[in-house]
Amino acid sequence: MYLGGLCFITDRKVCSLPYEDMVRLVLESGVKWVQYRDKEGSRRDIYRNALILRSITREYNAVLIVNDHTDIALAVDADGVHLGQDDLPAQKAREMLGRDRLIGLSSHSMEQAVDAEALGADYIGFGPIFRTDTKDAGSPKGTAQLARVRSRVHIPIVAIGGIHLENVRSVFETGIDAVAVASAILKGDIKENAGRFLDIIHSSGG
């Protein structure tokens, strides 16, 4: 399943638009991969929002990944789930989702990244690469450590954390497969920001 080099992550703390509005703007720019992340909503609200986003992403032939909630990802027929270190174990998620859906695992160290591949993850999210205020995921890892992880891990790597238009090229120079971005797309003109990211990523070979 081709995901492209840019994963857009929803974030209502950064942007007050409803999830469906921010996602539609991003998809109109050409993004093909959306990760629905909602740390504040009730499970009922997350399910309802995920249903709406599943419908919208289908309109644009885009991938929808649900953050944290494997059962909700399955219930709305999402393309997969992205799990943190404290979420449902990857093996149990695989039992629920089968082989046809994607499982991504957040990793914050070389050990976690290598373990994620061994556990059967389809891709890892690694970071934070740079300082970020979006979520507390520890100290910045930097592009040098990202390159080291790339040399050890053979499944796709999605870099995350503090990535913006001015530093995204340096991230792709490490050989990773994609970047995940929330704030740098949502602050300002969403559609224009996403389009500029895509232009830079495509010119960088991502």
pLDDT given at position 3:
64
Q: What is the pLDDT of residues 88-97, one digit of tens each?
A: 999 999 999 9
Q: Which domain holds residue 50?
A: 6-203
Whether residue 104 is predicted with pLDDT greater than 60 in this model: the reply is: yes
Question: Contact, 120 vs 90, CB < 8 A?
Answer: yes
Q: What is the pLDDT of residues 28-66, one digit of tens each?
A: 999 999 999 999 999 999 999 999 999 999 999 999 999
* Residue 192, domain member (yes or no): yes
Across the range 145-171, mean pLDDT stands at: 97
Whole-number Å distance between alpha carbons of 199 and 191: 12
Give the residue ranges of DSSP H helices in 43-173.
43-59, 70-75, 90-97, 110-118, 142-152, 168-172
Average pLDDT, the chain: 95
Q: Decide: pTM greater than 0.75.
A: yes
Determine what percent of the chain is predicted with pLDDT higher than 90.
92
Q: What is the CATH number of the domain that holds 97?
A: 3.20.20.70
Counted residue by residue, the chain has a size of 206
Whole-number Å distance between alpha carbons of 73 and 39: 15
* Residue 1, domain member (yes or no): no
Number of neighbours of residue 131 by Cβ within 10 angstroms: 9
pLDDT given at position 136:
64
Whether residue 196 is predicted with pLDDT greater than 70 in this model: the reply is: yes
Q: Which two tokens stand for residue 108?
A: 């914050």
Whole-number Å distance between alpha carbons of 56 and 86: 29
Across the range 138-166, mean pLDDT stands at: 96
Q: What is the pLDDT of residues 129-139, one digit of tens each?
A: 998 876 666 78
Residues that are catalytic: 37, 106, 135
Domains in the chain: how many in total? 1
Cα 1–Cα 102–Cα 205 angle in degrees, nearest 5: 45
Whole-number Å distance between alpha carbons of 14 and 184: 10
Q: Are strands 157-160 and 178-181 parallel, antiparallel or unpaired?
A: parallel
* Residue 81, domain member (yes or no): yes
* Residue 73, domain member (yes or no): yes
Whether residue 2 is predicted with pLDDT greater than 60 in this model: the reply is: no
